[in-house]
Structure 1
């Protein structure tokens, strides 16, 4: 009995390493007065208790007596390295003779008990279970005994035993922190995808849920694709939605090739904290255009070797093609070269902002905007292919023709181009392009794959030429004047004869 008491008291020294755990009702307690409290419980997870051994206690003699019960009898009898069972009375005593090794032994016994619960499945019912709705879970009115406390957080099993009190408190330390990653696709709205113009600022939000009982060595990693440029002065950290903190360090050059990492000193974060990290990036000229997207990846390293699953977002930017053509005498559509035009959009004040493109890029990738039309990039058509513009956000754009080749009529109005997208999720992003003349009512869809906007220039000039209808009008008016003059002459002569 002295060995058992020594073992139980020694194991109490391991209390800093909690769930799953053993706990016992204590001296002087009567049946139904036992209580197990779990601190730092992880909200949303379920905790179960199993009474492995029954406990009888004589308050007068200060005597303990552990016995196997029917549910756990087979398991207890198999643990010969740790427990000894009297085949006649069912009394259980501690069998490990190495008192210095009791902490390791009791942990191994707890691990074995946790595995036994898994192996038995539904055949072994818990004595009680509760889902954590706060950071504290309490099991009370328990009969005295030696209990296994498990959760659905981990298969690990570590111990905490105290036989000197009827109430036992266990500190949860086996939770697994999680990370969620989001990007702002509209003001105040967050999801896993968004789109924008090259040059636009993109806002990201990473949320760390601290669900382990001993948050140590927390390092947040973030890796941006080549199409995103991190803004180093943009990081802000809040805990539990309200409290800004600055107790962290940031590194920008890392061996794992991430863009940056944020380290939180031990003691900064606590169990059940919600940590929100916000930061920004710019869509740059290396951005991938289309539905492949530009990825941002985040993960958390913690503890000794822990690492969360990786959270990801994608940022998209779009393009469309312009087909300038004329119809020849055979009624065939042919490329029309040397047409110059500019692309513009309208800002919140309904003023035009003209696009500037990378002239060294055959696909004319956007580089910025100007309010001066003369500073805009003039896009020039050729006789063999369409003209591509890329790096555009969802929205409405206009094409204004500046120069028209000799022999062709210029456009009488601008062309309106509408880009619509669906990209607020990580996968399956889509976009469509529609077009119309500004003075028309209905839009026309482009092909889903090619995204080609066709614009025709008619042959001829904007003013009628010699020999056309203008000459006819001259003849008709001239003829009319001659008739009027003859009538006046005849009338005058008749008046003179009278």
Structure 2
């Protein structure tokens, strides 16, 4: 702010010179037309405004100027609403020092001294970005509303962001942002601007920049192919596929506004919602990340946050009531949090029996709630739009047929066991690892016979008939690979689902062309046929009976042969 009384003497001299010049000019050019009247109002242009931003302007001091010389005065005297608001804000900002307005009947000298003290106190808060100035502005808007100071001008941003408050009487103004436009979901990623204070001069436009910022949230999930092995640093994506029982890693990344330094308190709350197919493992970790790329450093600050389980549909929240209070990480080392810092939350959730298979998937959303008002202690919050990731899972179905005979009895149905090839052998060699328990074929001749293996992800598998019904031969083992692609972006989706069959466990020679799965249900299917035939004999089973019958036949034949031989000898 310009010094109030700076150049007062110069202003007087300039006025005198101007008057002399005016008189002389009038004498010399008496017949010239009268000059245009001097402007009596000014305006404020607000930069960086968005459509829907709204502002009120309050005039607290009047102003007169002559050239570069500026003089302020009280509006409405020592007891006006404007003066009372100024005095209240000054006293509060200066730790309740008593600047007392004189009575309206006081002498002009007393009133002038009081006016000088008010203007000098306001001038002492100079420095748009100083902490004292921010405190004074916050106290001033509170006093303005308490004392019902009239709004002098209003403005709303138009589509291209231009905003002007016109026809303002010269003076000292405070500009207060009163509204933001949220989207259809009530989300708004911007903070309110800090209070703006500046001077309006007749005939001039005062340009001021909004002191606000933007907050964003990004949610990601990790994906990898178990058969290929989990990489050291899996990619963070918008979609993934996982098996039943997998612990799926998730990550939330929040940013801070550019005007973060203008806040005394800054609330920061992650809201996370998991679908019914995922069980939260309650293993949240929070980090402060500074720097970019390979140069980025992260420090754990989990102890500074509280994890709670709110009411449905949210699964949990991760809350810090005031980021400004975080000065150390969990190990006691100093930590820096500024407007370039990212706050990162990581946790896992397990795929459970409720996981949806196919294109519906298991969506998971999160949004960030944050302080949006750097004034009045940071009261009020906005929230980011929800960001969604999705976890897909699939189903493998054996369609069972029986050749040359009726289906076996229900209590003699075949059973199949599923194996997944994982790099658990020497030097990462793939080893067939059993997935779950054997599954018994169920169904009927009308609807077909099936064995289902739900909630699988991509990878290489083998399905083996581990219980063969009597009267049938064991079906050959089936080797196959499930593969899928899913899109990224705001609405990730399951794009393709295929199954490829191979001749053996080397997975080098295909047995047939890849077959498309059913995306809606996430189903891939194989036809496996049992051929009629005898099993190898086994103790205690049908094989033993066969041996008994064959032995008896041999004994009978031998007896007949012996009897014939004896009869011949007797003859």
- TM-score bracket for this pair, using the shorter chain length: 0.5 to 0.7
Aligned partners of 2:159, 2:247: CA distance in 1, in Å?
A: 53
Residue in 2 aligned with 1:438? 503
Distance 1:159 1:308, change over 3 A: same
1:275 aligns with 2:343: yes
Spell out the pairing of 1:74-223 with structure 2 (5 A cutoff): 97-98=80-81, 99-101=83-85, 103-104=140-141, 112=153, 114-115=155-156, 118=158, 153=190, 158-161=195-198, 174-186=212-224, 187-211=233-257, 212-213=259-260, 214=263, 216-223=266-273
User: Between Structure 1 and Structure 2, which shows a larger proportion of helix residues?
Assistant: 2
1:390 aligns with 2:454: yes
Aligned residues: 360
Match of residue 405, structure 1, among 461, 469, 474: 469
Residue in 2 aligned with 1:254? 310
> Normalized against structure 2, the TM-score is what?
0.52
Residue in 2 aligned with 1:325? 401
User: Between Structure 1 and Structure 2, which shows a larger proportion of strand residues?
Assistant: 1
Match of residue 421, structure 1, among 481, 484, 487: 484
Spell out the pairing of 1:22-61 with structure 2 (5 A cutoff): 26-27=2-3, 58=7, 60-61=9-10
Match of residue 243, structure 1, among 287, 298, 305: 298
Residue in 2 aligned with 1:292? 360
Is the contact made by 1:298 and 1:310 (CA closer than 8 Å) also made in structure 2?
yes
Higher mean displacement: 267-276 or 252-261? 252-261
The Cα RMSD (Å) is: 4.8
1:307 aligns with 2:347: no
> Normalized against structure 1, the TM-score is what?
0.59
Aligned partners of 1:119, 1:288: CA distance in 2, in Å?
A: 43
Aligned partners of 1:147, 1:252: CA distance in 2, in Å?
A: 41
Gaps of 5+ in 2: 16-37, 46-55, 87-139, 166-171, 181-188, 201-205, 225-232, 291-295, 327-336, 372-379, 537-571
1:353 aligns with 2:470: no
Residue in 1 aligned with 2:278? 228
Is the contact made by 2:219 and 2:387 (CA closer than 8 Å) also made in structure 1?
yes
Aligned partners of 1:71, 1:265: CA distance in 2, in Å?
A: 39
Secondary structure at the counterpart of residue 301 of structure 1:
strand
1:344 aligns with 2:419: yes
Secondary structure at the counterpart of residue 100 of structure 1:
helix
Higher mean displacement: 182-191 or 235-244? 235-244
Distance 1:101 1:260, change over 3 A: same
Distance 1:293 1:111, change over 3 A: farther
**Structure 1 position 205, deviation (Å):** 0.8
CA deviations over 1:2-43 (Å, ceiling 9, x no partner): xxxxxxxxxxxxxxxxxxxxxx5x349xxxxxxxxxxxxxxx
Aligned partners of 2:61, 2:160: CA distance in 1, in Å?
A: 21
Aligned partners of 2:477, 2:3: CA distance in 1, in Å?
A: 90
Distance 1:81 1:322, change over 3 A: same
Larger relative contact order (C-alpha < 8 A, sep ≥ 6)? 1
**Structure 1 position 198, deviation (Å):** 0.9
Gaps of 5+ in 1: 1-23, 29-55, 126-144, 357-375, 464-498
Residue in 1 aligned with 2:127? none
CA deviations over 1:154-205 (Å, ceiling 9, x no partner): 6767323489xxxx9x997532422111111244311111111111111111
Aligned partners of 2:339, 2:528: CA distance in 1, in Å?
A: 62
Distance 1:340 1:153, change over 3 A: closer
Is the contact made by 1:235 and 1:280 (CA closer than 8 Å) also made in structure 2?
no
Secondary structure at the counterpart of residue 195 of structure 2:
coil
